[in-house]
Chain A
Amino acid sequence: MLEHITVFKASHIHTMDPGRPDASAVAVSDGRIVSVGSIESMEPWLRRYPHSIDDRYSDKIMMPGFIDPHTHLRLSGTYMGLEYVGPIDSAAPGGMRKGLPSRDAVLNQLRALAAEQTDPTTPITAWGYDPASQSGHLDRDMLDQISDSVPIWVIAYAPHIVYVNTPMLEMIGVNDDSVGHGIGRYPDGRLNGWFVETEATALATRPVSKLIYGPNAGRTAIDRMGAVAKAAGVTTTADLIWGLADGFEPEWDDHAKAIAEGTFPLRIFMIPFEPKLVREYGSEMLNFLETKRAEGDDRLNTHGIKYVNDGSYPSMTLVMNEPGYLDEDNAHKGEVPWEDMVERMLPFWKAGVQIHSHANGDRTLDMTLDTLEALQRIHPRFDHRFTVEHYCISSPSQARRLSALGGQASVNIYFVHFRAQLHSDHGFGPDRSEATARLGSLERAGAPFALHSDFNLVVTPLSPLLAAWCAVNRIGADGETVLAPGERISVDRALRAITIDAAYILNRDDRLGSIEVGKHADFTVLADDPYQVNPRNLKDIEVCDTVLAGESTN
């Protein structure tokens, strides 16, 4: 018995259900999808139940809510207590932040922040100021005119310099008699509010850093980073290092509170970091996960187990096969010894817990596949959804082996654009750099895959549409070269990899990832149709809104 049905109309709905791909209306009740098609087609429902038509998206495109299946919102967000005041557009809490063209524009923004500041003991902290393109340095007197009571702290785009006002100088604990390199002065000897280069910036940053890493940092981070993800159209994500920073219960509680208080517009799965889980819970580890699963719900839950078995792509710490590194080899393996991997994974494998295993390098991928094969020998399983996380450097044969063993991949595709050309000359060499993130090979091998950002543990943005753009175009950092064209995938396949296939990776494709009857009513609302725009412009499509369980998050 349905109480009320809301029908969302759109100029086009891409359902990502290949059997019924297109629609113009979706009916929602109590957070779930009741019907998808047209107003006419859902008439049998509308005739029987009270309903209303919501046409706020009638000139927009609707898709299933985007899923980024590998992020670190809480951990990375603890850094993000800063406003962005840089010269070019950047992702920030509340969406893309427009670049500010001039110093006056920056001062206006700081003035607005100062006016909003209710607690005069909490500094206003901002980053990204660029004195070259924003017409000159800031200084103490300028910032004092904005506020002589609220401390103001601004770190430049290249963090050589911090600008502060008088209240912030007091908080840092320096005065006109202080001596130190990089503590700037006016010609008359008065401090000018500049802190230049390493010692001085560190001195000026200490009080701010203490605040940013204070007791409420985790919660603040979740709220801020949740807003970043929402602005990029994400409605579901997974934290792939649950427990590492502050422990399992505190991290879970922060998310639970944020959801209860309505400040976190996402669904999230907490995926425990295995070494920490083993250390903390020992023989009780599986019981702990079972308890948390029972405690969780459709907004916050736990799922799977996470292993980290080599380093990262940008820091050139992944483990590679022959012929190895061109230069700068800092390869390192993770905390769990490789020779113990089968033994460590086995209890989870036998208990039916989905394994997420980080492998950036192809040597690590070999080890991971060997481990999966051994697990299959010891205890054969179907539909286990063993997931290789990142999958940066690989070969076509590894894709086929992954597929044959029933595995799948969650791929960081952003590196193709942001880093691959750099590493052609540095670290990985031209061949493996060009073939970073082989999605075409995975597709040909029939292995399921999704795209993720790893936000913000590596230097990549969080934007599923940008990820799809990278996957479809594979354009290098030079803006023109197409890298390994045979590893490109179609627009449809890329959009699947940020919706239904990402849900599959998280083993929730029964409830999420497409617009189908019975599923959660999570939608992403776009200004333009990703199937219609030039694929080179996929990343520029504006995200207008997201809908979570039938409610707009705006």
Chain B
Amino acid sequence: MNQPTEMSSGEVDAAWSSVVSTLHAARERSQKNYTASTELDVTVLTGFLGSGKTTVLRHLLENPEDLRIAVVVNDVGAVEVDAHLVKDASVQQISLSNGCVCCVLGDDLENQLEHLVTAGSYDAVVIEASGIADPIAIGQIVQGAHNCRLDGIIAVADASSLDVQLADQRIAALVARQLQAAHLVILSKGDLVPESERERAVKLIADVAPGGRIIQANDGVIDLGLVVGAALNGVSMASHEQGGGLAVVSLVVEPAGPWQPTELGKFFDQSTHGLLRAKGWFEDLEGSLFHLQVVGRRWEIKRWSGEAPKALVLIGLNRDDVATTKVRLQYIGQG
């Protein structure tokens, strides 16, 4: 919650329109009858123009790791997916041989999402928010859509131009809002700038959006599981440390629980857990099963009916943080 103290009347109008969409989404949601069935994970990818959203999306589409991902973008042509993968292409939609699809954002996002749910052939959706859209408003639409679940809001920030953007009063408020709304921030183009500039960008993000989780990714190369929660659905509950440029660490807590859901919620409310993502199932003291999902600062605990392994996978940037969090979680279990 860090706002610029100098604001213009135009910003008040922008703020007001966000409040309006929050009110409106709440109304839409309360007017709907929800049927219990599987929900489709929807990730909102935000970031100012030129920040590198499209590069991240291209990487996802070309490396979906057996997931069928529907990507909703402003301009299908701009994504430029590897031609070998393209099965069928039009101005509206590109179908890929790996089961993914890339389609144009229509007038009515809510309807579009509900159609993707009904189609039933996708594991996850990633929406590319317009570079000048307020991602909170889009998050609210996702929450209002039937059988969709907001997996997380992920911002892409450009290490080479973030300082200029935040100094430009025409766009600073919007860029700040995008970073604040994000549960994870991907810092792009860090390899194209001197170390000092990259560090300054990290600090700027921390100033504008304190407590945010920052992941650095060059050329859009990012662990699928960080962007798309569904990638963790069938995760083999085995710890692994990834090689390559990104030192993402995942550790598994097994068996998970028994925990009181409220106690676990309090734990994740403290933003010191150092996790980028976590996902899995745990048991409470009465033996009921719960599903936990964490994306950066955001978490969700839901009662689970059916079978599931009592295990959590924890994903973070460095082994110490993740290992510490693992120990603290086990301690909650004993306490």
Residues of A participating in the B interface, judged by any CB pair closer than 8 Å: 79, 82, 86-90, 127-128, 130-133, 137, 155-161, 177-185, 189, 197-199, 201-202, 205-206, 208-210, 212-213, 311, 316-317, 327-330, 332, 417-418, 421-422, 425-427, 456, 459-461, 476-479
Contacts and interface: CB of A to CB of B under 8 A. Distances in A.
Contacts of B327: none
Interface-central residue, B8, B23, B27, B301, by most chain A CB under 10 Å: B23
28 contacts: A79-B20, A88-B9, A88-B12, A89-B9, A90-B12, A130-B3, A159-B136, A160-B181, A181-B269, A181-B299, A198-B136, A198-B150, A198-B153, A205-B26, A206-B27, A209-B26, A212-B23, A212-B27, A328-B75, A328-B130, A330-B130, A332-B107, A418-B10, A418-B13, A426-B131, A459-B14, A459-B16, A461-B9
Given A88-B7, A132-B3, A316-B130, A155 B19 contact: yes
A192 B140 CA distance: 23
Interface of B: 1-5, 7-10, 12-20, 22-27, 29-30, 49, 74-75, 78, 105, 107, 130-132, 136, 139-140, 143, 150, 153, 169-171, 177, 180-181, 261-262, 265-266, 268-269, 297-301
Contacts of A185: 266, 269
Nearest to A180: B265
Contact of B169 (A209, A417, A461, A478): A478
A421 B29 contact: no
Given A179-B262, A198-B136, A418-B13, A158 B3 contact: yes
Contacts of B130: 316, 328, 330
A206 B269 contact: no
Most chain B CB within a 10 A radius of its CB, from A180, A184, A212: A180
Contacts of A87: 5, 7
Looking at chain A's contact residues, is the secondary structure mostly helix, strand, loop, or mixed?
loop
B169 A330 contact: no
B211 to A, nearest CB: 11
B13 A459 contact: yes
B170 A478 contact: yes
| Top 9 A-B pairs, shortest CB-CB distance | A205-B26, A133-B5, A209-B26, A132-B3, A209-B27, A198-B139, A459-B13, A90-B12, A181-B299
Contacts of B301: 179-181
A158 B180 contact: yes
Contacts of B15: 86, 127-128, 157-159
Given A422-B171, A426-B49, A198 B27 contact: no
Contacts of B4: 132
A202 B143 contact: yes
A327 B24 contact: no
A434 B226 CA distance: 40
Nearest to A311: B107
A462 to B, nearest CB: 10
A213 B20 CA distance: 12
A89 B132 CA distance: 24
A330 B76 CA distance: 11
B12 A421 contact: no
A503 to B, nearest CB: 27
A469 to B, nearest CB: 12
B22 A202 contact: yes
Nearest to B152: A198
Contact of B19 (A82, A177, A184, A328): A82
Given A87-B5, A212-B23, 12 more contacts: A79-B19, A127-B19, A128-B16, A130-B5, A155-B19, A160-B181, A179-B262, A198-B136, A198-B140, A199-B143, A206-B30, A460-B13
Nearest to B169: A478
Given A79-B24, A132-B2, A199 B170 contact: no
